[in-house]
Each structure stands twice: as C-alpha cells, then as structure tokens.
A = this chain, B = another copy of it.
Amino acid sequence: MVSEQVYVALMHYPCYNKTGAVVTTAITNLDLHDIARVSKTFNLGGYFVVNPQPAQRELAGKILSHWTSGYGSEYNPNRGEALSVVKVVPELEDAISAIEAVSGARPKIIATAARQGGGVASFSEMRELIKEGPHLILFGTGWGLTDEFLSVCDYRLEPVAGLAGYNHLPVRSAVAIILDRLLGYR
C-alpha cells in the first residue's frame, strides 16, 4: 500500500520563533497524540519526532512509554496502538536512515509550509509522486521551518490555503488535511 511508504516528521529545529530567530521548539503532548492518531488512521510507515535536545527527547519517551507499555496501555489501548508508530530522534538524518533501513531506498524529502514559496508541487502532483518509493513529509513547529532548510528539500508542497486570508492552522490540523489530500479516499 502506498501509505506505508509515506512517513511524517515533526521538526522542532531549525524553526523560526515569533521574532524570526532560529530556535529549537518544545515537544508538546498533543502533537504526539494527535499526529500519531492521524498517522495510524492513514496507515503511514511511521511518525518521527525530531528534536536535538536530549531532555526533550527524554520527556517524549516517558509520555510514549506510559501509553505503549505503562498504565495508559491498559486504560486506553487505542492510544498505545497509535503511539507505537512514533519514533523520537535527534536529527532528520536519523529518520532518513531508519526509513532507508526498512525500505532499501533513501526517501525523497517533502517540505511543507504555510508560507507561499517558489516551485511548489500541487497536491494532485504529489499524490502521484508518492507512489514511487518512500517519501518523508516534514512539518515545522513554532513559526515554521527556516527558508534555508526548506530550500534543500526535494519538493515543497503547496500550502493549505484558507478561504478568507487567515493562514494560521495548527500543525496538527495541517497534518490531518495534508495526509487526507494525499492519501484519503477520493
């Protein structure tokens, strides 16, 4: 199935903050849960949480183990099932290597951004492209991935355009809409 060759990564670095400075953002509990549940719904190959700070990765690990093997796994097994798709890694290259180890090919990297940018691929183009080998879709946090970082990805996906100019979707909602547009039933 095409979806098993599709992976998402939630990037906590290098992201802009409110003032335009480049920072590492913090991992949030809801980003783990909601994006894992959406990833499981669309039957992805996996969901990588990328954060260079060891204390942040440790916190994420504690949350995940609560639901996948701790008390939460008995209280609500559906959460454990979803959160088992999450892997917490320090750098994007770790996610790429993990995908390569499973699929035998280096994934193409698809950047997403709320901002407009040059040379974007449309959703209908990308829906076809992802049928050819593994693809890793990156989502930024904070005020978005840096321009420099976006420019070195293999593709940049068109933004999810709103209907009246408001352009501040939560990353959790952007992941849901983008995966539905790329993989949902039509």
Which A residues have a C-beta under 8 Å from some C-beta of B?
Answer: 1, 3, 18, 30, 33-34, 37-38, 40-43, 76, 78, 81-82, 160-164, 166-170, 172-173, 175-177, 180-181, 183-185
Contact = CB atoms under 8 A, between A and B. Distances in A.
A177 B42 CA distance: 12
A161 B180 CA distance: 10
B180 A37 contact: no
A15 to B, nearest CB: 16
A172 B41 contact: no
Contacts of A180: 160, 177, 180-181
A163 B183 contact: yes
Contacts of A181: 180, 184
A1 to B, nearest CB: 7
B163 A41 contact: yes
Please state the number of chain copies in the assembly: 2
A37 B173 contact: yes
A34 B164 contact: no
Contacts of A30: 30
Nearest to A81: B166
Contacts of A177: 176-177, 180, 184
A163 B45 CA distance: 12
A160 B184 CA distance: 9
A42 B170 contact: no
Contacts of A37: 166, 168-170, 173
B40 A166 contact: yes
Given A30-B30, A78-B168, A172-B34, A41 B1 contact: no
Nearest to A42: B163
